[in-house]
Amino acid sequence: MAKLRVTLRVNGEEREALIEPQATLLEVLREDLELTGTKHGCELGECGACTVLIDGTPVISCLALGRACQEKDIRTVEGMADPEPHALQTAFAELGAAQCGYCTPGFLLTAEALLEEKSEPTRDDIKDALAGNLCRCTGYIKIYEAVELAAARMRGENAQPTQEAIYGQQ
Amino acid sequence: MLRLPEFEFLEPSSLEEAVKMHESATEEVAYVAGGTDLFPNMKRRHQEPQTVISLGAIEELSTAPEEVEIDRRRFVTIGANVSLTDVSGNQLVQTLCPALAKAAESVSTPALKNMGTIGGNLCLDTRCNYYNQSFEWRRSIDFCMKKDGDICWVAPNSPRCWAVNSSDTAPVMIALGADFVLMGRGGEQIVPAAEFYNDDGIAYLNKGPSDILTQIRVPITPGSGATYLKLRRRGSFDFPVLGVAVWIRWNNKIVDDARIVLGAVASYPRIIPEAATAIIGTDLDDDSIEAAAAAAFRPSKPMDNTDLGLAWRKQMTKVYVRRALHELRAQTD
Ligand SMILES: Cc1cc2nc3c(=O)[nH]c(=O)nc-3n(C[C@H](O)[C@H](O)[C@H](O)COP(=O)(O)OP(=O)(O)OC[C@H]3O[C@@H](n4cnc5c(N)ncnc54)[C@H](O)[C@@H]3O)c2cc1C
Ligand code: SF4
Which candidate from A24, A48, A68 shows the least CB-CB separation from B111? A48
Nearest CA in chain A to B234: A131
Instruction: From A79, A96, A125, give the residue that closes a domain.
Output: A79
Q: Compute the residue count for chain A.
A: 170
Number of domains in chain A: 2
Name every protein residue with a CB atom under 6 angstroms from any ligand 1 atom. Answer: A 44-46; B 30-38, 40, 55, 80, 84, 107-108, 112, 115-117, 119-121, 123-125, 166-168, 212-213, 237-239
Pairing of strands B187-192, B242-251: unpaired
Whether residues A97 and A66 share a domain: the answer is no
In one-letter notation, the amino acid at residue B9 is F
Give the three-state DSSP class for B25.
Answer: coil
Whether residues A97 and A160 share a domain: the answer is yes
> What predicted TM-score, i.e. pTM, was given to this entire model?
0.97
Distance CA A47, CA B132 (A): 16
Cα–Cα–Cα angle for A94, A98, A100, rounded to 5 degrees: 140
| Proportion of chain B above pLDDT 90, given as a percent | 97
Nearest CA in chain B to A49: B111
Report pLDDT digits (tens) over B179-220: 999 999 999 999 999 999 999 999 999 999 999 999 999 999
Give the three-state DSSP class for B319.
Answer: helix
Report pLDDT for A167. 59
Minimal Cα–Cα distance from B4 to chain A, Å? 6
Whether residues A107 and A71 share a domain: the answer is no
Give the three-state DSSP class for B327.
Answer: helix
Instruction: From A52, A79, A106, give the residue that closes a domain.
Output: A79
Which residues belong to CATH 3.30.43.10 in chain B? 1-57
Which candidate from B40, B56, B110 shows the least CB-CB separation from A63? B40
Report pLDDT for A168. 61
What is this model's ipTM? 0.96
Q: Who's near B187: CB < 8 A, 6+ residues apart?
A: none
Whether residues A36 and A103 share a domain: the answer is no
Which residues belong to CATH 3.30.390.50 in chain B? 79-123+164-330
Whether residues A98 and A44 share a domain: the answer is no
CATH architecture of B1-57: 2-Layer Sandwich (3.30)
Judged by a CB distance cut-off of 8 A, whether residue B112 touches chain A is yes
Distance CA B16, CA B307 (A): 40
Report pLDDT digits (tens) over B289-322: 999 999 999 999 998 999 999 999 999 999 999 9
* pLDDT confidence band for A2 (50 / 70 / 90): very high
Whether residues A92 and A163 share a domain: the answer is yes
Q: For residue A100, what is the domain's CATH number?
A: 1.10.150.120
Whether residues A74 and A115 share a domain: the answer is no
Residue B228 C-alpha from the chain's centroid:
12
Closest by alpha carbon to A110, among A55, A59, A61?
A: A59
Mean pLDDT score, B45-70? 97
Mean pLDDT score, A119-135? 98
Interface mutation vs chain B, best among A44, A57, A114, most B CBs within 10 Å: A44
Instruction: From A41, A61, A79, give the residue that closes a domain.
Output: A79
Domain B79-123+164-330: homologous superfamily in CATH = CO dehydrogenase flavoprotein, C-terminal domain (3.30.390.50)
Interface mutation vs chain A, best among B6, B8, B112, most A CBs within 10 Å: B112
Domain interval for residue A67: 4-79
Give the number of whichever ligand sits closest to the CA of residue B183.
1
Whether residues A15 and A62 share a domain: the answer is yes
